[in-house]
């Protein structure tokens, strides 16, 4: 199972360390691989160089099963999402966190924390999963279930894509704005 997490690589609130911890058994035995994508902007609020160094040390145990992709241009994210099965954003204090919604448009199953604003777009168990930020056992259980059932990943990925193209899609957005303008 191919998992991506998109979030600033220097911000502890993104909880990539908890994701690596939750995925450790799957990474160790080859059932999953993880790609951590994010900016390396050291001037961003809450940025901590030591956090990234800790992530790199933690990831080193798993060799090529954990990859870092820093500062990927937005135009290239389509290819990143298209190569994944699951998109995780289990961050805390995440006002929106739109990467999982972008990933849904490419058939990725989103797994997000309740503390992410984008959680309101999901129907849990249908087109994605919602976990508590920092709940390593809960996150691990969801990811283990997905890794054990490729048919579920496929089914939920299709549902995620339908949600992204339907109620979160451009046509729905335009109709909503038109209704607002029409008053």
Confidence band of 172 (pLDDT split at 50, 70, 90): confident
Domain count, the chain: 1
Query: What distance in Å separates the CA atoms of residue 94 and residue 46, rounded to the nearest whole number?
Result: 13
Q: What is the pLDDT of residue 41?
A: 86
Range of the domain at 156: 2-182
Q: Using N-to-C axis directions, what is the helix angle for 49-60 and 16-28, rounded to 10°? A: 10
Determine which helix (DSSP H) or strand (DSSP E) holds 54, and give its type and residue range.
helix 49-60
Query: What distance in Å separates the CA atoms of residue 80 and residue 142, rounded to the nearest whole number?
Result: 22
Q: What is the pLDDT of residue 44?
A: 80
Query: What distance in Å separates the CA atoms of residue 5 and residue 28, rounded to the nearest whole number?
Result: 18
Confidence band of 92 (pLDDT split at 50, 70, 90): very high
- Give the model confidence (pLDDT) of 45-67 as tens digits: 888 999 999 999 999 999 999 99
pTM check: above 0.95: no
Give the phi and the psi of residue 133 in degrees, each rounded to 5. -60, 130
Q: Please, what's the b/e burial string for 135-154 (b: 16 or more CB within 10 A of its CB; e: otherwise)?
A: bbebbbebbbebbeeeeebe
**Residue 9 belongs to domain with CATH number:** 3.40.50.2000
């Amino acid at each position: 199972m191919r998992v991506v997490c998109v979030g600033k690589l220097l911000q502890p609130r993104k909880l990539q360390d908890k994701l690596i911890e939750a995925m450790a058994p799957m990474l160790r035995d080859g059932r999953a691989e993880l790609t951590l994508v994010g900016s390396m902007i050291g001037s961003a609020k809450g940025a901590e160089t030591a956090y990234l160094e800790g992530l790199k040390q933690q990831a080193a145990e798993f060799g090529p099963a954990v990859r870092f992709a820093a500062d990927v241009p937005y135009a290239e994210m389509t290819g990143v999402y298209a190569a994944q099965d699951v998109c995780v954003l289990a961050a805390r204090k995440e006002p929106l966190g739109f990467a999982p919604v972008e990933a849904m448009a490419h058939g990725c199953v989103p797994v997000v924390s309740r503390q992410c604003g984008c959680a309101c777009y999901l129907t849990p168990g249908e087109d994605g999963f919602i976990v508590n930020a920092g709940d390593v056992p809960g996150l691990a259980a969801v990811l283990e279930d997905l890794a054990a059932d490729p048919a579920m990943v496929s089914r939920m990925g299709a549902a995620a894509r339908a949600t992204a193209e339907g109620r979160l899609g451009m046509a729905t957005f335009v109709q909503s704005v038109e209704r607002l303008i029409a008053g």
